[in-house]
A and B are shown apart, each in its own frame.
Chain A
């Protein structure tokens, strides 16, 4: 949830430039819609996402069911709206865990002596060398399927990337003139780290994490797509998509709708993340 509170105010502060970047505005608007869906799904749909109707399977879009119904007669719009929460929780939660643990490891490596750094980075190498999906599979085999466990799996796989990034950043900052000056001035080591190294090392991390949220949502949906994520009958987009494939000849909207939602979500997060990145690098918008 921290990442969310970090992004949203920044975004709103930037709405001044919306005339210039309609893509950004659309992205933000879509994300706002998602947040509403996640917090108060009842505002967007009156149907129960779990309510089954064996007489009302595969209804086409329109009428009482705006997006139609699935193979068990459940309202697809309701499932999409209620599924938003699990996507957002996946994106934010996995990124938060990945960033926190990754940052701690990276910072430690960047600030520690050569031996500790070497050991930590070899450990990071080991985890990087095992394919992400295999890691996820093993984590899920250990913990069982479910939204939270898939979240851990995605988070776990992202740790080494953040760790590497923060370590490199720490090195850069440590060598920067202002930090060397501060050290030369005789400020205590920890004070230098707290005042100069941390803030400057974290800035790009936040930007990277914003984009990482999009990746985490995509990765979470991929796991569900392979049957390793959220348990049925809970609504989840990746899950809905893989079920939809089975019935693609009967009703293609069952694939198109969740596919579009996942892509738009990742796209929106990326657009916002890119914008943050550009601004943090001081480049023209």
Chain B
């Protein structure tokens, strides 16, 4: 009961966060210079007539006072209508939906690779000889220091431009996913495995491990069995970091590898002042954030009933 109530409160707060994020973005976008109607029809070599411009203003209510535009937006939002993208002339939900799959695919594959790599490296190297640990932590350090775009560029140049092992660009198939996935996964994996190894080394010194070993349990089984349990808790703890890293890195990765996706969508929408589309992406990101936090909270509540976060 206490849990349910807590979750209900968090859910309400989450909706508040969504509203706050949408409002903040709405105000910020409108405060930036630039006429959205002009940006929509009068860019790129265009020579439209005034009638076209007036029509666009009327169609999107851009001729209304700002507070009316805001209320209209909120009103539609309550009915689940995110509006129409100015640039793409399709529903925002459709515009995002068309790109979401690609970003999710990239993010999920990167998350899986990162977690598997991190757990694998941590399990294999924790408490091992000094040089193994130094070499691994050195590699981890270098990887965490690579800004996403530099790492991606190195991979792109070495494995695609030079070696020709992977396609240079695009969204076609598994091969095209390899380099972007690594770009996104490696720095996250490096950070995760550092944390995991430290955790693991502490666990391996615990009395119950000694007990397990003395009972004749094999080292591999000890590490995998006990380590993985602890690893999972760490991964849950760090899921916020992981998801943040995935979202932030996705924009750069998509730009670099010329993949379509939500990151690319957001970049162009912001610079062309496609307000409904930007707000749609903001709401999506905020929803992910709220849901993840809620899930972490629930999982914690299940794992450790004492945990109560503000």
Q: Do A and B bind each other?
A: yes
In the complex, chain B residues 216-255 whose Cβ is within 8 Å of any chain A Cβ: 244, 247-248, 251-252, 255
Complex contact B248–A131 (CB within 8 A): yes
Residues of B within 8 A of A134 (CB): 25, 266, 270, 278, 281-282, 285
Complex contact B252–A131 (CB within 8 A): no
Given contacts A248-B161, A259-B153, A274-B141, contact A131 B147 (CB under 8 A): no
Complex contact A221–B147 (CB within 8 A): yes
- Stretch of B27-35, B50-58, B67-75, B173-181 at the chain-chain interface: B27-35
Complex contact A225–B17 (CB within 8 A): no
Complex contact A138–B29 (CB within 8 A): yes
Smallest Cβ-Cβ distance to A269: which chain B residue: B145
A-contact 0/1 string along B168-188, CB 8 Å cutoff: 000000000000000000000
Complex contact B20–A122 (CB within 8 A): yes
Complex contact B310–A132 (CB within 8 A): no
Q: Kindly state whether residue A252 has any CB partner on chain B within 8 Å.
A: yes
Q: Which of A126, A218, A259, A270 contacts B141 (CB 8 A)?
A: A270
Q: Which of B147, B161, B271 contacts A263 (CB 8 A)?
A: B147
Q: Kindly state whether residue B24 has any CB partner on chain A within 8 Å.
A: yes
Bound CA span A218–B153, Å: 14
Complex contact A248–B157 (CB within 8 A): yes
Residues of B within 8 A of A123 (CB): 20
How would you classify the secondary structure of chain B's contact residues: helix, strand, loop or mixed?
Answer: helix
Smallest Cβ-Cβ distance to A133: which chain B residue: B251
Q: Kindly state whether residue A155 has any CB partner on chain B within 8 Å.
A: no
Complex contact B141–A117 (CB within 8 A): no
Q: How far is the CB of B158 from chain A (nearest CB, A)?
A: 11
Bound CA span A267–B143, Å: 9
Q: Interface extent on B, as a size class?
A: 35 or more
Bound CA span A132–B249, Å: 10
Q: How far is the CB of B223 from chain A (nearest CB, A)?
A: 23
Q: How far is the CB of B186 from chain A (nearest CB, A)?
A: 13
Q: Kindly state whether residue B302 has any CB partner on chain A within 8 Å.
A: no
Q: Kindly state whether residue B286 has any CB partner on chain A within 8 Å.
A: yes
Given contacts A134-B282, A138-B28, A138-B32, contact A122 B144 (CB under 8 A): no
Residues of A within 8 A of B101 (CB): none
Complex contact A122–B21 (CB within 8 A): no
Q: How far is the CB of B199 from chain A (nearest CB, A)?
A: 14
Bound CA span A271–B141, Å: 8
Q: Kindly state whether residue B142 has any CB partner on chain A within 8 Å.
A: yes
Bound CA span A43–B210, Å: 59
Bound CA span A74–B16, Å: 52
Given contacts A23-B138, A137-B271, A252-B157, contact A263 B16 (CB under 8 A): no
The residues of B with any CB-CB pair to A shorter than 8 Å are 13, 16-18, 20-21, 24-25, 28-29, 31-34, 138, 141-142, 144-150, 153-154, 157, 161, 244, 247-248, 251-252, 255, 263, 266-267, 270-271, 278, 281-282, 285-286, 289-290, 293, 310
Question: Can you give 27 contacting A-B residue pairs, CB < 8 Å?
Answer: A125-B17, A125-B20, A125-B293, A126-B24, A126-B286, A127-B24, A128-B289, A130-B286, A131-B248, A131-B282, A134-B266, A137-B266, A137-B267, A137-B271, A138-B28, A138-B29, A138-B270, A141-B34, A142-B28, A142-B32, A255-B153, A259-B154, A262-B147, A262-B150, A267-B142, A270-B141, A274-B141
